[in-house]
Chains A and B, each alone.
Chain A
Amino acid sequence: MRSPVGVNVVLVVAGATLFYTYVGQLVPQKELQPPPKVEITQEMTPVQLAKVGDELARGKGMCLTCHTVGHSGGPLRYPDLAGVAERAKTRVAGLDQLHYFAQSVCQPDAFVVAGFAPGMPAIHRPPIGLSDEELHAVVAWLQSQGGQATITLKEKLPYCGGPG
């Protein structure tokens, strides 16, 4: 016995919709929360700041959306950050490590590593919009990539709105 056309049509519409709903459940399910507020106090040591910076680099700062740390194999989209603390000391003539990092995060187009296209946003401006304390933490984290974090909140960050 043939089923009525109306029933068949409903079955096609509902069946296709259910199938696509099911496909939607098969892929990895991840909920993205807004970045949490990070506690940074004046008393934090450079190592403590670097730890907060690590959290920021993976979350609110979005550094690791494009950069890698310890990339192995395959072409890079943007420079790998493993060992960047050493490279930063001599990368640009006239800039010490702190100035290089500060310029890189707040004026990223001022110097672009050879072989890579410009495209990094200034992370102290929206949409990333890190605060001055958070910028210090990110710089401390960069210093810790193959080196020793030395920056504290008492130091002024050049290129990021403060006096250079």
Chain B
Amino acid sequence: MNRRALLGIVGAFLLLTAVLRVWVAVNDRAYRAPVYSTQVQPVPREQGIADQQKAAEAKAKAKKYEAPTYRQFPFVGSRVAIWVVAELHLMFAAFVLAVPMFAFIIEVIGYATGDKRYDRLAFEFTKLLSTSFSFTASFGGFLTFMLIALYPAFTNYLMEVFSPTFLPYVLLFFAEAGCLYSYYYGWGKFHPLVHLALGLAINVVGTLIMFIANAWASFMMTPQGISDSGALVDLYAAFDNFTWMPINIHRFIGNIAFGGSVAAAYAAWKFLHAETDEQRAHYDWMGYVGNFVAISAFLPLPFAGYYLAAEIYAYNQALGIMMMGGAFSWLFIIQAVLIGNLFLAANYYLWLGMGRVEGVQAYQKYVKYLLAAIAVCFAVWATPHSLIATTAEIRAMGGTLHPMLGYLGVMSAKNTAVNVLILTTYVSFLFYRRTGKRPTVSWAKLGNLVQFLIFAASTAIVIFYGIYGYFVEAAVRIAFSVPQVLSVLVAMVLMTVIDIFLMRGAHATGETHWGKIPAVSQYVLIFIAVTFTWLMGLMGYVRSGLRQHWHVYGVLVDSSPDAFTPTLGFAANVVSVCVILFFALIAFVFWLASLHDKRDWGTTQSDEPAHGGHAPKRVSAGS
């Protein structure tokens, strides 16, 4: 018991002492310095971060340089990106190369005849050039950067082969800029002959630029002048490869057709917005000239195409067969639809144009026959060799060839159709040219008869070889296109020469009323421009796509994810995107060109100063 009491007393004492101690500690306000540990404690997270940074720096320093072969363009991929930019560059380049050609020729006519209307017309065409030239250069730079960024190895290879041509190219580009802007801003400021010399210089320099760029593009398709491993052996041979000259000729003519059609579309746009009869007359005339240039260049274009195709076959049979009979053969059915539409539209425009001339009735009765011939030829040309059919249909036909239509899908029929189309369009033009005139020369009847006989003979030759082609071997049949083409060319030249002399001093039976043409004709001109542009995009695709999985055919293989050749439907989509973008940009060019004729800000019609060279404020009609 005593023991318990003693423990209780000791416990109470300890408890009291503890309470007192806590009481003192709580109420103690005296400052005491903290006690720091002298030992550094490791912090795992910070150390880890530091280690990571060190490792990253070491890795970055040790990284070896590796030249990339490809880079990817976001969303659409590198190929489509390059495709669109290259196509837009080509379209603007074609326009910029073509317009000075006919502007120069029209200016020469104006100088030679002293007729100021031609001079004004040439200036009107030239107004479209300055902005287009800037677009061409901008897209060219864009394309170069895209090639370097997205296809560095391929671009490097082309540089290895063609670097000696780069400096001349750049210097020529500077010369082109100098000539073009002097030509435009110097209109009416220089002696006419000096100005004409500038016009000639633009065309010579521009053509040389195109020739150099064509060497790069054609080398990719038909390379030569290199060793088996692709090393350059002969720069001249690499430059003057199999398809270089055919492409030069094809682009030269094609550019004129394309440029003429776009310039005609500009005139159509202005015609539709014209407020006075004078303006309508002027832009009707301008549209007619632009379309005349386009169709005149378009008629010999298929012959340049034959030459290009022949050289592709000569370089590599398999390449030629792949183009005409392989994966790309259906592309030529699309091409037939486009060219058929061009012929139809061009003829329709000519027939509508006859309406502006008094005394048109003499020729209008023939239009229905011309239309029938064009429709038949169009149908033949667009007939595919083998048909897309269901299994039951194929069984019923006994194959993919239709028992009757199958005969129309072969080269003999198509060559015949296109040559007759060309002859028919030429006759439409001849009728248009003669509308409202009556020859006065004594040999008029004989001249007409000879012209008719030439036309009939040419048609007979074309049809004869077309039918004969069904009974001979392929090698012989291919050669038949030469006499067909020659007969058409010779006929057109002879008939033109006869017509010039026949209509010399012709009696005018009626006046030409420029501007008196239905508005639908102007939409036809715009339709022709769209069709030319689409055709250009499509044929650009076949030229480039023919290489398939090669950057440079047989030399540099494409190992990128885009190495496959896309479907024609996909190609059609990309071409359409290019066409829409081109027309959006060319509309901007048209708008800028139109600003030239607008009044200055804050001025009225009465106090408007005459500025902007001798650009016409109000223009008279052409003749």
A interface vs B, CB < 8 Å?
A: 5, 8-9, 12-14, 16-18, 20-21, 23-25, 27-35, 62, 65-66, 75-77, 115, 117, 119-121, 125-129
CB < 8 Å: which of B317, B327, B330, B550 contacts A119?
B317
Q: Which residue of B lies closest to A33 (CB)?
A: B564
Q: Is the CB of A75 within 8 A of B272?
A: no
CB < 8 Å: which of B477, B557, B572 contacts A23?
B572
- Closest chain-B Cβ to A118's Cβ sits at a distance in Å of 9
Provide the bound-state CA to CA distance between A9 and B570, in Å. Answer: 26
Q: Is the CB of B334 within 8 A of A127?
A: no
- Closest chain-A Cβ to B591's Cβ sits at a distance in Å of 11
> Closest 4 A-B residue pairs measured CB to CB?
A24-B572, A127-B554, A126-B554, A34-B549
Which of A16, A23, A35 has the most C-beta atoms of chain B within 10 angstroms of its own C-beta? A16
- Closest chain-B Cβ to A161's Cβ sits at a distance in Å of 11
Provide the bound-state CA to CA distance between A52 and B474, in Å. Answer: 31
CB < 8 Å: which of B473, B477, B526, B558 contacts A13?
B526
Q: Is the CB of B321 within 8 A of A17?
A: no
Per DSSP, are chain A's interface residues mostly helix, strand or loop, or mixed?
A: loop
Q: Is the CB of A77 within 8 A of B474?
A: yes
| Residues 512-551 of B at the A interface (beta carbon under 8 Å) | 523, 526-527, 530-531, 534, 548-550
Evaluate whether A77 and B327 lie within 8 angstroms (CB atoms) in the complex, with A23-B572, A24-B573 already known.
Answer: no
A-B contact pairs, 25 of them (CB 8 A): A9-B526, A12-B530, A13-B526, A16-B527, A16-B530, A20-B338, A20-B531, A23-B334, A23-B572, A25-B572, A27-B569, A28-B330, A29-B567, A29-B569, A30-B327, A31-B564, A31-B567, A32-B548, A35-B549, A66-B321, A75-B472, A76-B473, A117-B475, A125-B228, A127-B553
Q: Which residue of B lies closest to A120 (CB)?
A: B317
- Closest chain-A Cβ to B340's Cβ sits at a distance in Å of 11
Is B156 part of the contact surface with A, judged by Cβ < 8 Å? no
Provide the bound-state CA to CA distance between A125 and B565, in Å. Answer: 22
Q: Is the CB of B568 within 8 A of A127?
A: no
15 more A-B contacts (CB under 8 A) besides A9-B523, A20-B575, A115-B473? A8-B523, A9-B272, A13-B580, A17-B530, A17-B580, A20-B334, A24-B569, A29-B569, A31-B566, A32-B549, A34-B549, A34-B557, A75-B472, A126-B554, A128-B318
Question: CB-CB < 8 A to A129: which residues of B?
Answer: 554
- Closest chain-A Cβ to B339's Cβ sits at a distance in Å of 12
- Closest chain-A Cβ to B547's Cβ sits at a distance in Å of 9
Q: Is the CB of A21 within 8 A of B572?
A: yes
Provide the bound-state CA to CA distance between A23 and B568, in Å. Answer: 10
A-B contact count (CB 8 A): 123
Q: Is the CB of B564 within 8 A of A20?
A: no
- Closest chain-A Cβ to B501's Cβ sits at a distance in Å of 40
Evaluate whether A27 and B554 lie within 8 angstroms (CB atoms) in the complex, with A16-B531, A17-B579, A75-B474 already known.
Answer: no
Evaluate whether A5 and B273 lie within 8 angstroms (CB atoms) in the complex, with A20-B338, A23-B337 already known.
Answer: yes
Is B594 part of the contact surface with A, judged by Cβ < 8 Å? no
Provide the bound-state CA to CA distance between A66 and B228, in Å. Answer: 24
Question: CB-CB < 8 A to A12: which residues of B?
Answer: 523, 526-527, 530
Question: CB-CB < 8 A to B473: which residues of A?
Answer: 75-76, 115
Q: Is the CB of A28 within 8 A of B580?
A: no
Question: CB-CB < 8 A to B569: which residues of A?
Answer: 24-25, 27, 29
Question: CB-CB < 8 A to B563: which residues of A?
Answer: 34
Q: Which residue of A lies closest to B547 (CB)?
A: A127
- Closest chain-A Cβ to B336's Cβ sits at a distance in Å of 10
Q: Which residue of B lies closest to A66 (CB)?
A: B321
Q: Which residue of B lies closest to A62 (CB)?
A: B318
Q: Which residue of A lies closest to B326 (CB)?
A: A65
Which of A20, A25, A75 has the most C-beta atoms of chain B within 10 angstroms of its own C-beta? A20
Question: CB-CB < 8 A to A25: which residues of B?
Answer: 569, 572
- Closest chain-B Cβ to A64's Cβ sits at a distance in Å of 10
Is B440 part of the contact surface with A, judged by Cβ < 8 Å? no
Evaluate whether A32 and B573 lie within 8 angstroms (CB atoms) in the complex, with A27-B333, A75-B474 already known.
Answer: no
Is B576 part of the contact surface with A, judged by Cβ < 8 Å? yes
Which of A24, A34, A117 has the most C-beta atoms of chain B within 10 angstroms of its own C-beta? A24
Which of A76, A121, A127 has the most C-beta atoms of chain B within 10 angstroms of its own C-beta? A127
CB < 8 Å: which of A16, A27, A35, A65 contacts B322?
A65
Provide the bound-state CA to CA distance between A125 and B575, in Å. Answer: 34
Q: Is the CB of B318 within 8 A of A121?
A: yes
Provide the bound-state CA to CA distance between A59 and B473, in Å. Answer: 26
Is B621 part of the contact surface with A, judged by Cβ < 8 Å? no
